[in-house]
Structure 1
């Protein structure tokens, strides 16, 4: 990337970073991991920014990088390990469901949906992409997007129903 492209990249990042961070959070359910995913996606985009801007769709290009990073992260078992100073109290975790608001219940339920289906749901209903745009972003067929959307919504409904049963 040339020096003359750096201000353009900075301007684009300033305008889009918070949206990318929210999308990453919806995908992974962890603000710290979301920050890491966005930073890595922006680093990779910066390296090829000249080519990205020639496509005329930098948002789609960086979103694709973000999705690939998230899905890659989910595939690697060692990255799913969490270090804890103290073991969490398992009995206390169930009691928190009562205090959750509607938004938190939906986010918690979304985290129970399989990663690929979650990616499709985030693209379709958070990013408001069409079936075709989602298929292009994930590199799959439109039929795959339709079936993953259907299965993902079914899984999300099931997770939400579980929360409703758990709350008095």
Structure 2
């Protein structure tokens, strides 16, 4: 790119940067990410500057570059998250008091469940038994175990004593 075109590009960026940064912020909802996104889009625009004949269309070109770049970043980020069958281990809390209070609250909430729901939750989550194993122990169907656990978990989630 020759000197006059570089100056033309610099002038464009100096003039339109605030407007383009607002558009980038709308795409990312984060000021730092928006600045990175705008910088990447301007780099792409700089490389294509000689090919852009209509200078009135430059804003559209930069916005399209921002959208395409943001989509690429989302896709790349999405590949970094993989669903698994097991939940990750919870980080160890530094404060023993918080752990004790949470255990106490959970214990009280479990005590408020009807006996069958409490038993199925204990076997499922504390003893790590499968639904089939629980069904055999209790002499009920697997579907009954599933619905009982589901109802119990719903009650526990709605239990105000567990809320911080």
Compute the TM-score of the two structures, normalised by the length of structure 1.
0.44
Higher gyration radius (CA)? 2
More RCO (CA 8 Å, sep 6+): 1
